Structure 1
Amino acid sequence: MKSELKVLFYLKKNETKKSGLSAVMGRIGVDRTMAQFSLKIDADAKLWDTKAGRMTGKSKQALAINREINRVNLIIHTRYKELKEIHLTVEAKDLKNASQGIACSQATVLDHFRTMNETICQRVGIDYSRAASEQYIHAYNALESFIHKKLKLSDIPFRALTCSHIEDYYQYLRVDKKFSIGTSGIYLIYFRKVVRNAVNQGIIYREPFSGFEPETMEIVHKSLTREELDKFISSEPRVTQQKLSKDLFIFAVFTGLSYIDMKNLTYDQIKTAEDGSQWIISKRQKTGVDYRVRLLDIPLAIIEKYRGESIDGKVLIIPNKMTVHSGLNAIAKRCGITKKISVHIARHTFASLITLSEGVPIETVSRMLGHKFIKTTQRYAELSLDKIAEDMIILSGRIAGKFTLTEL
């Protein structure tokens, strides 16, 4: 039996307010089920067309009330189509809840997103960093803003969630929020994690993300060239804060450590091997993956320079990241380096210039960086033109005389 939807708008004339106006009500009928709701607006009964369920005339008030009625009517019909794709039968109460974003007995997106974020907050310091937890919160705030401002709902039931919602949300992130492709993609990943949890819990039986493909962009990681690094190392900043920023950057260039792992570095993590060499052996805070890197002369000298000046057994003095980056870019500007410098660029420079370009196997580089996958290391490592030329010279020598071109 084909279900039939009927939507009626009427005035609650038996409860006229002191203002002389009556509340505008809505009634949803689906087959034999019915649900009523208030539009939370009032209208003058003298100007009400009972048959049309709208105001008559072209006064400012009449036009505004009719616009709101039309908006609600469109939402109801849209939600009805969405629910019909999921259920064989739809009841009026469920349609009203889906249209108004009322949670009731339905599992909703924002509610589950909040629950997931609370769980992640409890795991900070175990398998999540504070920064990662904050990213999830930012992603939640963006989705909440979209649902409130664009869909005009307090929340949206999982069963009413469609691919069109996801496409609209992505458009909202890119156009309204002006987020980059990368940031928008990350927020969608977190959103999709919430949806997958709902699928795993049996709340919904299909994933609305199916068929949705966000924009992609080639990830370009920057590292310093040998000439740029030489300029940076030979610079002589006079400001104390810039001197510290320079030392931290160079330490990262020759160890591959991230900002947070340098901040967490303690003397207990520095081990001495049988041959007398010293190694940093620890776990990355971001991923929990083991990493180990031998300390070369330059980072050893930096360690000795700051020995005893830090507290709590920490090896280095680490200001906040913004302060460090400000100092680095001030130095870069004086050196004529046009790239925007960050501690993360030092990590890429370690992968590309210090290790891979000097013949260190990528598997070894991956272990030193604490990457879970070689693919991640491949995105970090960029071969310089000098290295490619050098390798081609070696190849040329090896195959010389082994191949002969026969004239056709």
Structure 2
Amino acid sequence: MNQANVKVSFYLKKSEADVDGNCPVMAKLNIGKYSEAAFSVKMKVPQSRWISGRASGKSVAAKEINNRLDEIRAMALSIYSEQSAVRDGVTAEEVKSILLGMASEQETLLNYFRQFISNFEKRVGVNRTEGSLRAYRNAYNHIESFLKWQYKLSDISFTALDRSFIDKYDLYLRTECHLAPGTVINLTVQLKTIVGEAIADGIITAYPFMGYEPIRPKAVQKYLTDVELQRLMTTPLHKQTLYLVRDMFLFSCFTGISYRDMCSLTKENLSLAEDGTWWIKSARQKTKIEFEIPLLDLPLQIIKKYSDTASDSRLLPMYCNSNMNLYLKEIARICNINRPLVFHAARHTYATEITLSHGVPLETVSKMLGHRQIETTRIYAKVTDNKIDSDTKTLNRKISEHFTVVI
């Protein structure tokens, strides 16, 4: 329904005139033929000064009254336009409720999102990270662009958020922004967080994501197999730069330390135990969770090889992450590893191929990776076919030792 079917008119409620003849001004809102609502605009006008739904005369009081009536008409039309842009069947009573502030859902999405980001900024460095802040700002920008593209609106009230809105936003991210399924999931999860905060604050009660299930990306193996890892370690490379990148990647493969945490390591993070084992003790930059990792022989050799080569007393010489990933793609091609290789794959390799596949309990892996919850570790550590085969053979041997079957 377009705005031509919406009418806002004003009249005097003469039955409630006071002793001086001043009558309350009423507004009447009509949407289509059958939806109607009336309400007081909290002003009084002498009956003698009222003509054709307006205060007559050129006095300051008449101008103020007429300006206020124009504002109310514009607000009503704007509310109707906003609501009807995202759903059908908007009623006059709904517009009236929002206009008069009778509905708690008057808070708008982007305004609330800005408040959320402002509060988030204050927690960066305490229990939130700069990276997460950037992600929420990115999500805000996508929603802002979506509102302009889909509805020609600069903001929208929470009352307009329903399943239809979510589906349209999902489609917009996939078809207009050409984003990958994983990115779409991240952006919708961030919107879910904002909606959840609004529900907790009592701004809305209905959950617009009910029944929404995003298309999930096809699972891709993120860790290197033992064959690929051996190939990476033994294949000759033609540039010293590639050797350095390979060594830093291998360091992460055999320690599970992420790129960002490797960049911050110094000699102060090295610790020698009484039994002669070297440990790295630090805390995740992302979560501030402490982790302790006993160093295997290979990472110890890498530390020795690059001793005193890093700047600012860092433990290891690290290129920027984007350059690392570019060089790793070149290394993958040389080593005949037929899938995209990024630095973070090393952390997955440590969890799966180096630790879990060799019998390290998941709880221990989780602690060494610096995860707050073991569910996060399950994303990294995958049970390989070789691990299943090895465990089955061990189980078979133990059963044979304990049971005798006569057939």
Smaller-chain TM-score bracket: 0.7 to 0.9
Q: Is the alpha carbon distance of 1:348 and 1:89 closer, same or farther for their aligned partners in structure 2, counting shifts above 3 Å?
A: same
Q: What SS does structure 2 have at the residue aligned with 1:383? A: coil
Q: Is the alpha carbon distance of 1:76 and 1:283 closer, same or farther for their aligned partners in structure 2, counting shifts above 3 Å?
A: closer
Following the alignment from structure 1 to structure 2, what is the Cα–Cα distance between the partners of residues 327 and 172? 34
Following the alignment from structure 2 to structure 1, what is the Cα–Cα distance between the partners of residues 197 and 389? 50
Match of 2:74 among 37, 49, 54: 37
Mapped contact 1:28–1:36 kept (Cα < 8 A) = no
- Could you state the TM-score of these two structures normalised by the residue count of structure 1? 0.76
Q: What SS does structure 2 have at the residue aligned with 1:281? A: strand
Q: Is the alpha carbon distance of 1:226 and 1:194 closer, same or farther for their aligned partners in structure 2, counting shifts above 3 Å?
A: same
Asked if 1:353 corresponds to 2:353, the answer is yes
- Find the counterpart in structure 2 of residue 57 from structure 1: none
Q: Is the alpha carbon distance of 1:392 and 1:204 closer, same or farther for their aligned partners in structure 2, counting shifts above 3 Å?
A: closer
What is the CA-CA distance between 1:405 and the residue it aligns to? 8.2
Following the alignment from structure 2 to structure 1, what is the Cα–Cα distance between the partners of residues 86 and 233? 62
Asked if 1:90 corresponds to 2:94, the answer is yes
Query: Structure 2 regions of 5+ residues with no counterpart?
Result: 10-27, 31-35, 40-68
Following the alignment from structure 2 to structure 1, what is the Cα–Cα distance between the partners of residues 258 and 179? 25
What is the CA-CA distance between 1:252 and the residue it aligns to? 0.2
- Find the counterpart in structure 1 of residue 166 from structure 2: 166
Q: Deviations over 1:125-178 (max 9, x none)?
A: 332333222111111111111111101111001123222211211121122222
Following the alignment from structure 2 to structure 1, what is the Cα–Cα distance between the partners of residues 74 and 100? 8
Q: Is the alpha carbon distance of 1:6 and 1:329 closer, same or farther for their aligned partners in structure 2, counting shifts above 3 Å?
A: closer
Q: Is the alpha carbon distance of 1:83 and 1:121 closer, same or farther for their aligned partners in structure 2, counting shifts above 3 Å?
A: farther
Mapped contact 2:80–2:90 kept (Cα < 8 A) = no
Following the alignment from structure 1 to structure 2, what is the Cα–Cα distance between the partners of residues 385 and 37? 67
Q: Which runs of 4+ in 1 moved over 4 A?
A: 71-84, 403-406
Mapped contact 2:280–2:292 kept (Cα < 8 A) = yes
Following the alignment from structure 2 to structure 1, what is the Cα–Cα distance between the partners of residues 185 and 298? 39
Aligned runs of 1:296-335 on 2, under 5 Å? 296-335=296-335
Q: Is the alpha carbon distance of 1:305 and 1:79 closer, same or farther for their aligned partners in structure 2, counting shifts above 3 Å?
A: closer
- Give the partner amino acid of 1:36: R
Q: What SS does structure 1 have at the residue aligned with 2:74? A: strand
Following the alignment from structure 1 to structure 2, what is the Cα–Cα distance between the partners of residues 116 and 304? 46
Q: Deviations over 1:299-328 (max 9, x none)?
A: 111112222222333111111111111111
- Find the counterpart in structure 2 of residue 206 from structure 1: 206
Mapped contact 2:29–2:38 kept (Cα < 8 A) = no
Mapped contact 2:8–2:73 kept (Cα < 8 A) = no
- Find the counterpart in structure 1 of residue 394 from structure 2: 394
- Give the partner amino acid of 1:266: T
Following the alignment from structure 1 to structure 2, what is the Cα–Cα distance between the partners of residues 369 and 91? 53
Following the alignment from structure 1 to structure 2, what is the Cα–Cα distance between the partners of residues 176 and 383? 38
Mapped contact 1:80–1:95 kept (Cα < 8 A) = no
- Find the counterpart in structure 1 of residue 266 from structure 2: 266
Q: Deviations over 1:111-134 (max 9, x none)?
A: 111222233233333323332221
Q: Is the alpha carbon distance of 1:234 and 1:80 closer, same or farther for their aligned partners in structure 2, counting shifts above 3 Å?
A: closer
What is the CA-CA distance between 1:258 and the residue it aligns to? 0.7
- Find the counterpart in structure 2 of residue 7 from structure 1: 6
- Find the counterpart in structure 2 of residue 289 from structure 1: 289
- Give the partner amino acid of 1:113: F
- Give the partner amino acid of 1:90: E
Q: Is the alpha carbon distance of 1:134 and 1:321 closer, same or farther for their aligned partners in structure 2, counting shifts above 3 Å?
A: same
Q: Is the alpha carbon distance of 1:159 and 1:140 closer, same or farther for their aligned partners in structure 2, counting shifts above 3 Å?
A: same
Q: More displaced, 114-123 or 354-363?
A: 114-123
Following the alignment from structure 1 to structure 2, what is the Cα–Cα distance between the partners of residues 345 and 256? 10
What is the CA-CA distance between 1:391 and the residue it aligns to? 2.4
- Find the counterpart in structure 2 of residue 121 from structure 1: 121
Q: Is the alpha carbon distance of 1:107 and 1:225 closer, same or farther for their aligned partners in structure 2, counting shifts above 3 Å?
A: same
Q: Is the alpha carbon distance of 1:208 and 1:138 closer, same or farther for their aligned partners in structure 2, counting shifts above 3 Å?
A: same
What is the CA-CA distance between 1:263 and the residue it aligns to? 0.9
Q: More displaced, 263-272 or 233-242?
A: 233-242
What is the CA-CA distance between 1:37 and the residue it aligns to? 3.3
Following the alignment from structure 1 to structure 2, what is the Cα–Cα distance between the partners of residues 250 and 78? 54
Mapped contact 1:173–1:184 kept (Cα < 8 A) = yes
Q: What SS does structure 1 have at the residue aligned with 2:363? A: helix
Q: More displaced, 109-118 or 378-387?
A: 378-387
Q: Is the alpha carbon distance of 1:180 and 1:79 closer, same or farther for their aligned partners in structure 2, counting shifts above 3 Å?
A: closer
- Give the partner amino acid of 1:31: A
- Find the counterpart in structure 1 of residue 194 from structure 2: 194
- Find the counterpart in structure 1 of residue 157 from structure 2: 157
Following the alignment from structure 1 to structure 2, what is the Cα–Cα distance between the partners of residues 215 and 263? 35
Number of residues of Structure 1 aligned to a counterpart in Structure 2: 346
Following the alignment from structure 1 to structure 2, what is the Cα–Cα distance between the partners of residues 150 and 95? 24
- Find the counterpart in structure 2 of residue 137 from structure 1: 137
Q: Is the alpha carbon distance of 1:365 and 1:211 closer, same or farther for their aligned partners in structure 2, counting shifts above 3 Å?
A: same
Q: More displaced, 229-238 or 381-390?
A: 381-390
Q: What SS does structure 2 have at the residue aligned with 1:90? A: helix
- Give the partner amino acid of 2:37: D
Following the alignment from structure 1 to structure 2, what is the Cα–Cα distance between the partners of residues 244 and 205? 55
What is the CA-CA distance between 1:75 and the residue it aligns to? 5.8
What is the CA-CA distance between 1:8 and the residue it aligns to? 4.1
- Give the partner amino acid of 1:268: E
What is the CA-CA distance between 1:370 and the residue it aligns to? 1.1
- Find the counterpart in structure 2 of residue 46 from structure 1: none
- Find the counterpart in structure 2 of residue 240 from structure 1: 240
